[in-house]
Amino acid sequence: MKPTASPFTLSRNSFGRLVLSDAAGLAHAGIVPVRAFGITAPDYGISLMSADGKELQWLENLDVLPDDIRSLIVAELAQREFVPVIRRIASVSSYATPSTWQVDTDRGTTALILKSEEDIRRLRGTDNAGALLIADSQGIHFLIRDRLALDAHSQKILKRFL
Amino acid sequence: MTAPDTLPEAWQSELLASLAPDEQLIAWLELDLDDHLEFRPGLVTLSDRRLIATGANDTPREAWPLTAGLKLTHHDHAGVGTLELEDGQGRLALWRYTLGQSPAALRFEREFVRQRDSVASGQPPLPAVAAICPICQIQLQPDEEDCPNCIRELHTPPSTWTLLRIWRFAKPYQGQLIAGFLLTLAATAATLVPPYLTMPLMDDVLIPYQNGTPIDPDKVAWLLGGLLGSATLAWALNWARTYILALASERIGADLRTTTYEHLLKLSHEYFGGKRTGDLLARIGSETDRINVFLSLHLLDFATDVLMIVMTSVILFSINPWLALVTLTPLPIIAWMIHLVRDKLRTGFEQIDRVWAEVTNVLADTIPGVRVVKAFAQEAREAQRFREANKHNLEVNDRLNRIWSLFAPTVGLLTEVGILVVWAFGIWLVSKDQITVGVLIAFLAYISRFYTRLDSMSRIISVTQKAAAGAKRIFDILDHVSSVPEPANPVTLPPLKGGIAIDKVSFRYGNRAVLHGIDLAIAPGEMIGLVGHSGSGKSTLVNLICRFYDVTEGAIRVEGIDLRSIAIADYRRNIGLVLQEPFLFFGTIAENIAYGKPDATRAEIVAAARAAHAHEFILRQPHGYDSLVGERGQSLSGGERQRISIARALLIDPRILILDEATSAVDTETEFEIQSALNNLIRGRTTIAIAHRLSTLRRADRLVVMERGRIVEIGNHEALMASAGAYWRLYQAQTKQLDAPPVLGENSPSA
Ligand SMILES: Nc1ncnc2c1ncn2[C@@H]1O[C@H](COP(=O)(O)OP(=O)(O)OP(=O)(O)O)[C@@H](O)[C@H]1O
Ligand SMILES: [Mg+2]
C-alpha cells in the first residue's frame, strides 16, 4: 500500500514519551500504542491510546503510515511487548505443579514458575494447531509457536503437563 | 536487601572498587532484563550520594549524583516492570525487570526517596516503613524481603512429606488407629494359619494313606477344624479392623474438609478473586476424598501386605531357610518390573485426569451460561465442543489401554514364572530328601498369596504421590493467612454511633493503584451519596469501609478505632450491605431475607420486606414467603432480587447501611417508593449510597464526587450545581437525556 498523508504527527519528547499532535493541533503526551490482537493477528489493528486510556487513533494497518511515524510506533511497541518464545525446555523441577522450568527463549535463558497446568493454554485462531501460551506465576506469557516442532526432550517434558 | 554485606557476589568486587572510600552502599536492585527486554542480569545501586547502574543496559556503568530534582518512578505492563529515572528536563535512564523483582523495586524506590530527601535537606533519612506483599497485601516484617506465604505456595512442589502433616488431623483418633493396627496384626497372623496346616495334612494324612496307612478321622477333624477356625477368626478380625479404621479415616477426612472450608471462609476477597471456583471446589471436595481413600484403603492394604510378607518370611525361614531364600529372591525383581510398567502407566493416568477436567470444563462453562447459548443459537457449536473434548478423551484412553491391557497378563506371567522356580527347586529338594512334600505344598500356598499382592503393592507409590499432591493443595489453603488478618488483641467495640473517619486512604489491587489519598469524615446518621463515572473507585471505597480489603496507606476509623484492630465479625455485624450484584442463596425467600439474622421472627421478616417494597411481589409468589428462589435467584427479576437483598440488609438493623447501586434495576416509580420507605429507616443511621441515577441521591446530606480514584467535589446538590463542576456535568448529561430522550432507530432532528 502507498503511504498517505496522516491526519496526525508523532514525536518523542525528552522524557522518552510519544507525543501525538492531532488534526486540531492538540498535543497528547504519553501515547501508548496497543496491538488489538497481540498474539493471533499482531499486524492487524493498532490503536494509539492516550495516557488516561482513551483511544486517539485507530490504525488498521501500519503500512499506510509515513516511515518516520511507523518506525516510532514500531520502536515503542518493541519496548512494550514481552512474549518470550520458548525454543527448548531444558529441565523442570517437578512434574507436579508448582514447577520451575528452565527454558531457552528467543530472549535468553530464564526460569519460569508454572503455578498449575491450567496456565498452559492451547491457542486457537492461529495458523498453528500446536501453539501454546504459558502464563508464569508473575504474569509473563511465554509462547510456544509449535510444540510439535520442539526437540524430543522438550516435547517429552511438555507432554507430561498437557 | 538494605544491608550491604549481602550484596550479590557477582557484583561485589566490580562495584565496591568504584565507590569512594567513605561512600556507603544503601540499597540495590537486581535486574533480570536489559532495555531490549532480553534476559540479562544487571544491577542498580543506591549509595548515600549516588545512583549507580551496572551492566544493565548497553553502557557498562553510569552514575547520577542524588539531587532534589531527581525522580524515580515505576510502572508495569504485561509482566515487565520499568523503573525510570528523571530530572525536570527529561528521562535520564530506564531499567527493566520481571515482576518477581517488583517488591524489591518498590523497596528500592522507597529507599531512594528517603536518601534523596535526606541529601536535599541535609537531615538524616526518615525511618523505613514496613513493606507490603504485592500478592496478598499482607504487611511484611521489616527484615522480610518476600511474603513467606506466597513464596512458599509458589515454589514448593508437593512432597510426600506433606502427608505427614495430616497427623494433625489423625491425632484425635490415635486410640482407634492403634486398635486398628493391632487388629491388623492379629488378622494377618490368622490368615497365615491355613497354609501352615496343609503341611501336617499332606505329610501325616494324605501321603501315609497313599503308602497304605489308613486315615485317622480324629486327626483330620482336628486339622479341618483348625482350618475353619482360623478362617473364621481371620474373618472376624478383618471385619473389626476394617470397620474401626474406616470409621476413623472417614472422620479424619471430614475434619480435614470442614477445617479447610472454615479456614477458606475466613480468607479475604483478594484470595477468592484470584482462584477459580472449580479449583476450590475440587480441593475441598475430591482432594480430601482422595486423601481419605488413600488412608482407609491404600495405606491400610499396604501395611497389611508388608506385615504379611514379614510374617510369612519368618515362618518360611523357620521351616526351611534354603527353600525360603529361593522363594523370596524373585520377589524384589518382580516387584521392580511391575513398578517399571506402572511408571509408564502413571503418566497416562495423569493425562486422563486432565482430559477429564477438560470434559467437565465444557459442562461448567455451558450450563450456567445456557441462556446465552440458546439466545445466540449456539447449541450445535457447544455440542461440537463437547464431542471434541470427548474425542480427545477417547484418544488418550485408547493409547493408555494398549499398555494397560498388557499389564495384568504380564503380572500373571511373572507370578507363574516365580512359582515355577519354587516348584523346580522344591522338587529337587524333595528328591534329595531335604524337605517333605507337605513343606513344598505349604510354601506354594504361602507364596501364591503374596504374588497376588505385588501388583497392589506396586501401586502404593503412585497413589502416595497423588495423595501428597492433594494434601499439598489442601495445606496451601490452610497455610494461607488472610490478607485481612484478625487482630491479635481485638479492641472490644463500643456500641457504634455510626461515624466513619477515612484518613488519607490509598489503595491498590496488587500493583494497580485504584484509590489515591481519600479523606472523608462521615458524621453519625449522615447520608452520603457517592457518585462518579464507572470505574472511578466507588465500590472499592465501600469494600474498604466493609474491610473486605485493608487499606494500602492511611486508615479508616470508627469511634476513633482503626478497623484493623477490631474483630472482623464484630464490626461487620454493624453493617448492612446491598451489593451491586444481588446474590440470593438457594432456599425460600424468608430464609434469604433472614440470612444475616437466622433467628428473626416472621413479623420482623415481613416488616423488613415491607420497608424494601418487596412485600407485595413476594405475596404474588405461589407460596408467599415460603416460595423457593432457585439457584442465584433465577426465578426472580433483577429488581425483585435487589429488593430482597435490601430487605436482608434492613433486617439486621445496622448502624451503617451501604447501598451499592441498590436500586439500579427497579423502575423509577418503585425506586421512589423504596426511597420513601428507606427514608424512615435511614433516619439516625449512617448511610452510604452509590447510584448512577443522580435523582436517587436527592436526599443525601452530602454528595461525594469521585473521579479516577480521587474525591473531586463534596457538597449538597444545590452547592455542587452552583459551582458548575464535575457533578454539574454529570447532572447535565443525565437531564439532557431526560429532556430529549433519544429514540431508537431515529436520529435526533438536526437544526
Ligand atoms: N479485584 C480487582 N482487581 C483489580 N482491579 C480491580 C478489582 N476490582 C476493581 N478493579 C478496578 O478498580 C477500578 C475501580 O473499580 P470500582 O469497582 O471501585 O468502580 P466503581 O466506581 O464502583 O464503578 P461502577 O460504577 O461501574 O460500579 C476499576 O478500574 C476496576 O477495573
Ligand atoms: Mg461499583
Residues B280-311 pLDDT 10s: 777 787 788 888 888 888 888 888 888 888 88
Min Cα distance A15 → chain B (Å) is 4
Q: Which helix (H) or strand (E) holds A73?
A: helix A67-80
Higher pLDDT, B491 or B4: B491
- As a whole number of angstroms, the distance between CA B427 and CA B437 comes to 9
Sequence-distant contacts of A21-29: CB under 8 A, at least 24 apart:
A22/A56, A22/A57, A28/A56
If one compares B457 and B709, the residue with the highest pLDDT of the two is B709
**Is the pLDDT assigned to residue B522 strictly greater than 90?**
yes
pLDDT digits (tens, 9 = 90+) for A84-134: 999 999 999 887 777 889 999 999 899 888 877 778 887 765 566 678 889
Q: Which residues in chain A have their CB less than 8 angstroms from residue B84's CB?
A: 16
Structure-model confidence comparison of residues B487 and B251, the more confident one:
B251
Coil/strand/helix, residue B424: helix
Mean pLDDT of chain B: 81
ipTM of the complex in this document: 0.86
Residue A162, helix vs strand vs coil: coil
Identify the pLDDT of residue B4.
45
What pLDDT sits at residue A41?
78
What pLDDT does residue B144 have? 57
* Residue B511 CB less than 6 A away from ligand 1: no
Q: Give the separation between CA A152 and CA A137, rounded to whole angstroms.
A: 26
Mark out chain A residues that contact chain B at CB-CB < 8 A: 13-16, 52, 78-84, 93-100, 105, 107-110, 113, 115-118, 136-141, 159-160, 162
Residue B734 pLDDT class (50, 70, 90 cuts): confident
The band of B708, judged by pLDDT with boundaries at 50, 70 and 90, is confident
Please give the Cα distance from B331 to B322 (Å, whole number).
15
Lowest-confidence segment of A31-40, B382-391, B458-467, B696-705 by average pLDDT: B458-467
**For range B511-540, the mean pLDDT:** 88
Contacts of B481 (CB under 8 A, 6+ apart): B136, B138, B149
Distance of CA B729 from the midpoint of ligand 1 (Å): 22
- Residue of B131 and B477 predicted with greater confidence: B477
CA angle B294, B298, B301 (to 5 degrees): 150
Q: Are B252 and B169 in contact (CB under 8 A)?
A: yes
pLDDT attached to residue B1: 40
Q: B232 pLDDT exceeds 90? A: yes
Check if B514 has its Cβ closer than 6 Å to any atom of ligand 1.
yes
pLDDT confidence of A22, banded at 50, 70, 90? confident
Model-wide pTM > 0.90: no
What is the Å distance from ligand 2's center to B315 Cα?
Answer: 75
Mean pLDDT, residues B548-576? 87
CA of A30, closest CA in chain B: separation in Å?
A: 13
pLDDT of residue B633: 61
Chain A residues near residue B276 by CB distance under 8 angstroms: 118
Average pLDDT over every residue of B628-641 = 75
Which among B146-150, B362-366, B442-446, B677-681 has the top mean pLDDT? Answer: B442-446
Q: Touching check for B84 and chain A: CB below 8 Å?
A: yes
- Which residues in chain B (333-352) have CB-CB distances under 8 A to chain A? 347, 350-351
Average pLDDT for A24-30: 85
Give the mean pLDDT of B50-58.
76
- Average of per-residue pLDDT across B500-511: 82
CA angle B158, B164, B170 (to 5 degrees): 130
**Does B537 sit in the ligand 1 pocket, CB within 6 Å?**
yes
| Amino acid at position B712, single letter | V
Cis-peptide, bond into residue A98, ω within 30° of zero? yes
Closest residue to atom 14 of ligand 1, CA basis: B537
* C-beta of residue B100 within 8 angstroms of C-beta of residue B48: no
CB contact under 8 A, A118 and B276: yes
Model pLDDT for residues B252-282, shown as the tens digit of each residue = 889 989 999 998 888 887 777 766 666 777 7
Query: Mean pLDDT, to the nearest integer, of B148-177?
Result: 75
Q: B134-148, B223-237, B586-600 — which is least confidently predicted? A: B134-148
- Kindly list the distances between the CA atom of residue A115 and the CA atoms of A119, A149, B157, in Å, as whole numbers in the listed order: 7, 25, 10
Specify the pairing of strand B575-578 against strand B656-660.
parallel
Task: Assign A161 a pLDDT band (cuts: 50, 70, 90).
Answer: confident
